[in-house]
Structure 1
Amino acid sequence: MTRKSNQKKSRKLWLKIPLILIGVIVLGVGAYAISIYNNVAKTVNEKMHEPVDSIDRETTKKKMKATEKLTILLLGIDSQEGTSGRSDALMVLSLDPTDDSMQLISIPRDTRTTIVGKGTEDKINHAHAFGGTDMSIATVENLLDIELDYYVRMNMDGLSELVDELGTITVDNEIAWNDGTNNFNVGPVDLDGDQTMAFVRMRKQDPNGDFGRTSRQRQVIEGIINKGASVGSVTKINSTIDILGNNMATNLDFDDMKKLLSGYKNTRNNIVSYQLQGDGTTIDGVYYLIVTGEEIAKVRGMIEGEV
């Protein structure tokens, strides 16, 4: 064999080595991506997915497939009372891909309404304690005269774990206050998990009472959406999904979530927040928020895109 032939073979060998290394890296990343994908799919479908009788699955799937506007009920449950506790936060999230917009409408927990399935007038947040997610869905649909497509129920303490995993979230604080541990200044504030819980639960120092509290809850939801969409490290996906699997339930399955990601991801570009308005009153020694028919019609129009 000539020296020239040996040099030629040597060059080919050195060319193959980086190609093999690149191949190994690509295969490694691919295997990791597949493991993440499989873990997410398994967690969503086996731990988080909870269908409900009050929402027709076939109808919602058709709307999702056609990329139509969707309406989702968000329930934040008081962790200390367990999964059958009262809903500490109650919001209607509407996603409209036709104009890439998102609406987040809070329903104050003291809102007096008919609890569907129980037949009595009570605070709307009691619906979950009386009859779980199904009763909450039916009661909100009856109050606003709308049809909900999906729901997401979150253990409120799970918010703390989720925020810590994301790092921090940023909110625009409107009033300065101190809870003895944390100082919350006016303006943009970065919150860790514990600070997030303090931020959403404070009410006594807020001149707007529960209205201010629900406003902060909406800010936290928006902060989580924005931070979650911007987190670049794929290594956080498994740990984040594990936290959600332990603290969240929804009638969305994994295929639904993939369609949300592909067809509705840009709706977060234009977020509008609102809170159902009413007047406070005391009936038999219990405080309620009374909402007029005009206000209900206004909110229904917002959700259906008529306003």
Structure 2
Amino acid sequence: MDEFQSGRSRIERKRQEEEQARRTSTHRRIEQQADERMRIDAPQQPNHRYVEDGPTLTSRPVQQNHRGSQKRTGTGTGGRLFTLVRKSAKQVGTIMAERTRSNRRKSRRSEEAVPDETRQGALKKQPVEKKKRRFKTKVFGLLLVLLIGFILFASQPFTFLLIGSDARPGESLRGSRSDSLSVMQFVPLSRTIQLTSIPRDTYTPISCEDGKKDKITHAFAFGGEECTQNAVSELLDVDIDSKIVISFDSFIGLIDQIGGIDLVSTGTFSEQDASGKANQYAFQKGKEYHMDGAMALAYSRHRKTDNDGARANRQSEVIQAVATHLLKPTGWTKISSAHAYMKEEMSLDISFRQMATAGLALALMSEREHLEIDVVSDRLNGIFYDFPDEKALTQLREKLQTTFYGVLAND
């Protein structure tokens, strides 16, 4: 306690010395300014000069000696005014000093009245408050970056390819096939998403196999996501800006990492789990569920009671739910880790800024349009294929081009 009082005394003395030095400097500055005003404003008599004479400014006549030097004699008329200004400055300084001393006495009395425990508690709270301020600053900065990124990036339409691998938990992606293929086109100016699902058995040229026609699902086994992207781009005649490869393991891991998602079921059905056990999950249309990774996987991969189009639509619902969850205040801190996870485990090939703004655009989309490729199922050389209807495929390509580029052209 003695050391604390001694330290406080030293600090108090230092403050008093600094205050005294400040007042002295202020008084000198006021005096200099008053001198300058007197020299400029005071009426000057002919052949007289105003000079300092102790505390006053005196006007004295000027005489020349035999060498041309000046001799000063006589008295002036500006001394009284300067004295008055100087006294006023001293009075102001005295009043300010007294107020400062009074405030210090009040502060010391209030500190002595506060218990040591309370004072220590207040000191401990200061780092916490600084952390809160830093956190708020970071959040504000993140929102500003998202807003700027949304204006610069998400205001332009872009195309995203979703590749779902049929690799089961624990299996490698190499050599696996694409279990589902969907092309998502974002048109922010019209706040719409166009989702085009591609049947996995669609018969189409595979560029990495020298243009040989085969099931589009085999493109992933032949050349991975790059070969699949080229095959889809050629089939639909669209440029694909980005892609993501989703396996059972990576899908479950992403949903669990962000703490699950909230989603309203658009259908009534039951589905097996990732290990193949039947009827492990039951969904009712119109009911909201909080889904972990395994439950979200069961919801998005179901297709027994409907078709590939409905399955692709549910997958887009899950992706939109992920974006909505990350844009909530509780999910902001998970955006960076989710981006790193998707780059590492899902072959995501866009930057953090692009992912954040794409997620913002996805969460704000108010309309989702689902498109499908019309196919005719038949056998060729004993193998089952889905053959695209060429006329319907041409119309689909024109619609994608018109919607994707026509919005900007007509805006």
Given the two structures, how large is their TM-score scaled by the length of structure 2? 0.57
What amino acid is aligned across from residue 281 of structure 2 in structure 1? N
Contact 2:167/2:173 (8 A) holds in 1: yes
Structural RMSD (CA): 3.7
Q: CA deviation at 1:266?
A: 6.2
**Aligned equivalent of 2:318:** 220
Of residues 240, 249, 252 in structure 1, which corresponds to 2:350? 252
Q: CA deviation at 1:255?
A: 4.2
Where do residues 151-230 of structure 1 align in structure 2 (5 Å cutoff)?
A: 151-164=243-256, 165-177=258-270, 179-190=278-289, 191-203=291-303, 205-206=304-305, 208-230=306-328
* Larger RCO (alpha carbons 8 Å, 6+ apart): 1
Contact 1:112/1:288 (8 A) holds in 2: yes
Q: State how far apart, in whole Å, the 1-side matches of 2:230 and 2:307 are.
A: 27
- For each residue in 1:5-26, what CA deviation from the matched residue of structure 2 results, as whole angstroms up to 9, or x when unmatched? 3214566999x96995576224
**Higher mean C-alpha displacement, 68-77 vs 265-274:** 265-274
Q: CA deviation at 1:90?
A: 1.1
**Aligned equivalent of 2:172:** 82
**Aligned equivalent of 1:96:** 187
Contact 2:326/2:332 (8 A) holds in 1: no
Q: State how far apart, in whole Å, the 1-side matches of 2:363 and 2:232 are.
A: 26
Q: State how far apart, in whole Å, the 2-side matches of 1:231 and 1:277 are.
A: 42
1:271 aligns with 2:352: no
What amino acid is aligned across from residue 25 of structure 1 in structure 2? K
**Aligned equivalent of 1:73:** 161
1:138 aligns with 2:216: no
Q: CA deviation at 1:249?
A: 1.3
Residue aligned with 1:79, SS: coil
Q: CA deviation at 1:113?
A: 0.8
Gaps of 5+ in 2: 1-97, 143-151, 272-277, 407-411
Q: CA deviation at 1:226?
A: 3.3
Residue aligned with 1:82, SS: coil
Residue aligned with 1:289, SS: strand
Q: State how far apart, in whole Å, the 2-side matches of 1:261 and 1:187 are.
A: 24
1:29 aligns with 2:135: yes
Q: CA deviation at 1:140?
A: 0.8
**Higher mean C-alpha displacement, 80-89 vs 127-136:** 80-89
**Aligned equivalent of 2:200:** 109
Contact 1:91/1:104 (8 A) holds in 2: yes
**Aligned equivalent of 1:60:** none
Residue aligned with 1:274, SS: strand
Q: State how far apart, in whole Å, the 2-side matches of 1:255 and 1:218 are.
A: 21
What amino acid is aligned across from residue 228 of structure 1 in structure 2? L
Q: State how far apart, in whole Å, the 1-side matches of 2:111 and 2:237 are.
A: 72
Gaps of 5+ in 1: 38-63
Q: State how far apart, in whole Å, the 2-side matches of 1:79 and 1:132 are.
A: 13
Q: CA deviation at 1:187?
A: 2.9
Contact 1:171/1:223 (8 A) holds in 2: no
**Structure 1's 131 and 6: CA in aligned 2 closer, same or farther, altered over 3 A?**
same
**Aligned equivalent of 2:81:** none
- For each residue in 1:69-102, what CA deviation from the matched residue of structure 2 results, as whole angstroms up to 9, or x when unmatched? 2112121223335333212221111111222222
**Aligned equivalent of 1:41:** none
Contact 1:108/1:214 (8 A) holds in 2: no
Contact 1:75/1:153 (8 A) holds in 2: yes
What amino acid is aligned across from residue 315 of structure 2 in structure 1? Q
Q: State how far apart, in whole Å, the 2-side matches of 1:183 and 1:225 are.
A: 24
What amino acid is aligned across from residue 175 of structure 1 in structure 2? T
Q: State how far apart, in whole Å, the 2-side matches of 1:121 and 1:162 are.
A: 35
Q: State how far apart, in whole Å, the 2-side matches of 1:31 and 1:79 are.
A: 43
Where do residues 112-131 of structure 1 align in structure 2 (5 Å cutoff)?
A: 112-118=203-209, 119-131=211-223
Q: CA deviation at 1:116?
A: 1.4
**Structure 1's 240 and 116: CA in aligned 2 closer, same or farther, altered over 3 A?**
same
What amino acid is aligned across from residue 325 of structure 2 in structure 1? K
Where do residues 284-295 of structure 1 align in structure 2 (5 Å cutoff)?
A: 284-295=381-392
Contact 2:378/2:384 (8 A) holds in 1: yes
**Aligned equivalent of 1:240:** 338
Bigger Rg, structure 1 or 2: 2
Q: How many correspondences in the alignment?
A: 276
Contact 1:172/1:219 (8 A) holds in 2: no
